[in-house]
Each structure stands twice: as C-alpha cells, then as structure tokens.
Structure 1
Amino acid sequence: MSNRNSKYEPLQNFLKFQKTKSIKMTFFEVEDILGFTLPKSAYEHEAWWDKSDSHTQSFAWKNAHFIAKPNLKEKKVEFVKHIED
C-alpha cells in the first residue's frame, strides 16, 4: 500500500509491535500516540473507523493487520488483529 497514512504512521508502528490479538485504547491514548487530536468525525461517526480504502487513517491499522471497533459513547476503540485470507 502507498504511504498515504504518513500522518497516522505512529499508530501503525505502535500496532505492528503489539503481541496481543487485541488492544483497547481510549481516544486520548490514540491521540497521545499520534501527537495530535483526532478529528471531530472520529468522535461522532463510526464510519471514520471503517476499514475502507477511501479513509486515509484506516491504512494505519490495516497495514498493521488490525481492524478498529470503536465505542463512541465511551470514547474508546478496540483494535483487533485481522489477517485477511
């Protein structure tokens, strides 16, 4: 995949080194890794966390072989290891 995710590369690198099959994080923890505040849409729309190829941010977790499962009410996300067939 292309380097379209350079802004989100710190998250990709963090996830690549996780030894567990899933990791739960608060949005604040994700922001801490990234070094910037997530956009308002990340807090308001589950679609922001989709694995769509049209979402630049999704390349970060897709390239690390994870999918994102957000909980907007709690402002948390679970990244789950996903190896495509």
Structure 2
Amino acid sequence: MGKYDELRDFLRHQRLAQVTLTFAEVAGVVPGGLPPSAYVHRAWWANEESGTHSHARSWLHAGYRTTDVNLTAGRVTFTRAD
C-alpha cells in the first residue's frame, strides 16, 4: 500500500465534479501528512503521472486533476477529468 492510496480512495468516493479541500484536510487523509514542499511549491500539485510523483498519480487514478492550487489560502481544487 502506497502513502497516497488513501487520498486516491477518498477521491474515488466523491460524487462531486469538483472537490475543494484545505491542505490540512488533504494531510488528514494521507498517513503521515503532506511533505513541506506541498505547502510552498505549486509544482508539487502538478498533474504528472510519470516519474516518482506517486501523490499526483493518486488523484489522477481516482479520475481527478488539480485545477486550482492556492498556496496562500492553503487549498486545492480537484476536478473530475473527462
């Protein structure tokens, strides 16, 4: 089981086309929370399926993409991929 599997499963159970969560809410779903880079680097939230970005694969495999990241407010919006 990967660190971000619970985030994937959480998003899979969502019925909304868009889900906006605070970083604290996302961290609450991920065992051990989010790394410091998630709070300061927009690139951490990029929709990259290749490489070592298992966190991005978690929401992509749940059928979502990040569409808005607000580092100042500490929130992210996931939107269902078409």
TM-score by length of structure 1 reads 0.86
Which residue type is aligned with residue 59 of structure 2?
W
One-letter identity of the residue aligned with 1:65: G
Flag as ranges the 4+ runs of structure 1 deviating above 2 A: none
Q: How much does 1:70 deviate? A: 1.4
Partner of 1:15: 11
In 2, Cα distance between the equivalents of 1:78 and 1:67? 8
| 1:16-60 deviation digits (Å, cap 9, x = unpaired) | 011100011000100111132211110111110011122121010
Structure 2 unaligned regions, length at least 5:
none
Distance 1:63 1:15 in 2: 9
2:60 counterpart (59, 62, 75):
62
Gaps of 5+ in 1: none
**Which secondary structure state, in structure 2, belongs to the residue aligned with residue 18 of structure 1?**
coil
